[in-house]
């Protein structure tokens, strides 16, 4: 059983060498008399920014416990059930949810596993648009942003897994949408593939405030926050009165020992803003409704989806750390096995 294990706790930017590929010779099976267990083959693994928090010794800084050095990482993935004593799963079923960064995982009373019923879209989509990241975009946009047709929406890290979907949902809803991303290729995707009204490369803007004023001369009604730090600081004075900021993530802060100061907070008062953080795990009750909405959109081509697919468990460490340098173009995932 090949595994990606954490070598040491991480501080600062994570490196490939913080992880290691090891092979364990223990043959996994469901022990006799063990109920509610599944043995899964991991097919596709999702690389997610929150995993950085779990690589730190003080995982409490994030909202989940730390990974243990010497143990495989864990995260979201799409899996095949090889054996089961769980009433909800039988051999051959497909599911997505929490699993190990390894070829096979024994899960006793799985923490989060959802059976996959719809199999006429690529299975890898369950690491992203049909899984946790998709639901994040949906719950964040509809529940937290309180959108109204015609409003001005700004999305940061817009070409990523969450951002690309937020932008498209906002367009379908009838909003005016601008996204930012960190390369020309990503900006082209935003404008030409995902249908954003405008997009810009934040790395080429010497003055983010001026850039936002250029794209939002009348201000921003909704900011979907993925980045934090300087970006948030620049957005705050550009918000319109009674604007909403859905705080989904702050990836620019995850590798810093101390979060950067944000200076423009008084705008929250002056502009009567609502800033609301949210975590997708509070929104799983919306998942069936979300699938009913998004699957037809995908099939009709009204929503498109871009994945960055890395081959083999060995590519896991580089793919994961690549999120923090913007190496990924679209949703980053790792193929462990295609069947
Ligand atoms: P992405 O696919 O967007 O990948 C991360 C991207 O972030 C990179 O490609 C890079 O794009 C950008 N980035 C990295 N470092 C910086 C930086 N210092 N400044 C600005 N941009 C940076 O990841 P996801 O879509 O999976 O996640 C997006 C955000 O959503 C993250 O903040 C994540 O933590 C959050 N999230 C929150 C959830 C919740 O429940 N609240 C659930 C899932 C995700 P670029 O080239 O454009 O810089």
| Å from CA of 225 to ligand 1 middle | 9
The Cα 185–Cα 201 span in angstroms is 9
- d(CA 28, ligand 1 centre) in Å: 35
- Residue 336, token pair as written in the block: 């462990």
Q: What was the ipTM of the complex prediction?
A: 0.99
- Residue pLDDT, tens place only, 237-291: 999 999 999 999 999 999 999 999 999 999 999 999 999 999 999 999 999 999 9
Residue nearest to atom 39 of ligand 1 (CA): 279
Structure tokens at 105: 């995982």
Q: How far is the CA of 48 from the centre of ligand 1 (A)?
A: 8
- Token pair, residue 57, equals 């010794």
Q: What gap in Å lies between CA 45 and CA 321, rounded to an integer? A: 14
Nearest atom in ligand 1 to 133's CA: 43
Judged by DSSP in three states, 212 sits in helix
User: Are 51 and 65 in contact, with CB atoms under 8 Å apart?
Assistant: no
Residue 82 pLDDT class (50, 70, 90 cuts): very high
Q: Does residue 326's CB lie within 6 angstroms of at least one atom of ligand 1?
A: yes
Contact present, 276 and 246 (Cβ < 8 Å):
yes
* pLDDT tens per residue across span 157-202: 999 999 999 999 999 999 999 999 999 999 999 999 999 999 999 9
Determine the distance separating the centroid of ligand 1 and the alpha carbon of 182, expressed in angstroms.
Answer: 11
Most confident of 50-59, 64-73, 226-235: 226-235
Q: In angstroms, what CA-CA distances link 82 with 40, 42, 104, 107, 109?
A: 5, 10, 9, 11, 15
Closest CA to 253 of 134, 157, 138, 331: 157
- CA-nearest residue for atom 14, ligand 1, is 324
In the numeric block, the tokens 């060498």 are attached to 17
* pTM across the whole model: 0.97
What is the predicted pLDDT for the residue at 62? 65
| pLDDT for residue 60 | 56
Ligand 1 atom 36: residue of nearest CA: 249
Q: State what percent of residues in the chain have pLDDT above 90.
A: 95
pLDDT value, residue 27: 83
Is the pLDDT assigned to residue 119 strictly greater than 90? no
Q: For helices 132-139 and 287-299, what crossing angle results, to 10°?
A: 100
Question: CA 98 to CA 92: how far, in whole Å?
Answer: 18
pLDDT in tens, 3-45: 999 999 999 999 999 999 999 988 889 999 999 999 999 999 9
Count Cα neighbours of 268 within 13 Å in the Cβ-side half-sphere: 11
Q: Is 127 a pocket residue for ligand 1 (Cβ < 6 Å)? A: no
Q: Residues near 206 by Cβ (< 8 Å), separated by ≥ 6? A: none
Cα angle 186, 260, 274 (rounded to 5 degrees) comes to 75
The confidence band for 64, taking pLDDT boundaries of 50, 70 and 90, is: confident
C-beta of residue 229 within 8 angstroms of C-beta of residue 250:
yes
Alpha carbons 250 and 149: distance in angstroms, whole number: 27
Q: Which residues contact 103 (CB under 8 A, 6 or more apart)?
A: 1, 2, 3, 41, 42, 313, 336, 337
In the chain, which ranges are continuous DSSP H helix? 51-54, 132-139, 161-173, 184-192, 208-215, 230-235, 267-270, 287-299, 316-322
Token duo for residue 138: 């949906």
Query: Does pLDDT of 61 surpass 80?
Result: no
Encode pLDDT of 120-135 as tens digits.
999 999 999 999 999 9
Give 280 Cα–ligand 1 centroid separation in angstroms.
Answer: 14
List the structure tokens of 101: 């960064």
Q: What is the pLDDT of residue 63?
A: 74
């Amino acid at each position: 059983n090949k595994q990606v294990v954490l070598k040491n706790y991480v501080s600062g930017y994570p490196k490939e060498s913080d992880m290691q590929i090891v092979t364990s010779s223990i043959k996994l099976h469901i022990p006799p008399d063990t109920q509610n267990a599944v043995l899964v083959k991991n097919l596709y693994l999702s690389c997610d920014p929150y995993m950085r928090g779990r690589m730190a010794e003080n995982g409490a800084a994030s909202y989940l416990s730390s990974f243990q050095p010497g143990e495989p990482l864990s995260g979201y993935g799409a899996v095949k059930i090889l054996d089961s004593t769980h009433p909800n799963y039988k051999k051959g079923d497909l599911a997505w949810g929490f699993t190990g960064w390894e070829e096979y995982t024994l899960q006793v009373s799985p923490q989060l596993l959802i059976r996959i019923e719809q199999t006429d879209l690529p299975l890898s989509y369950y690491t992203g648009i049909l899984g946790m990241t998709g639901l994040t975009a949906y719950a964040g946009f509809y529940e937290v942003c309180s959108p109204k047709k015609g409003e001005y929406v700004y999305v940061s890290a817009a070409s990523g897994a969450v951002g690309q979907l937020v932008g498209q949902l906002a367009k379908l809803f009838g909003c005016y949408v601008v996204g930012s991303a960190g390369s020309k290729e990503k900006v082209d995707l935003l404008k030409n593939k995902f249908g954003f009204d405008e997009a810009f490369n934040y790395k080429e803007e010497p003055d983010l405030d001026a850039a936002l004023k250029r794209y939002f001369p009348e201000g921003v009604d909704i900011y979907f926050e993925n980045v934090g730090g300087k970006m948030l600081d620049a957005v705050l004075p550009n918000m319109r009165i009674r604007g909403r900021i859905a705080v989904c993530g702050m990836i620019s802060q995850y590798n810093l020992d101390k979060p950067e100061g944000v200076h423009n907070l008084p705008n929250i008062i002056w502009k009567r803003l609502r800033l609301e953080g949210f975590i997708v795990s509070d929104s799983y009750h919306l998942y069936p409704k979300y699938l009913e909405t998004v699957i037809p959109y995908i099939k009709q081509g009204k929503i498109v989806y871009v994945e960055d697919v890395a081959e083999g468990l060995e590519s896991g460490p580089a793919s994961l750390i690549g999120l923090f340098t913007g190496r990924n173009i679209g949703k980053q995932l790792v193929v462990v096995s295609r069947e």
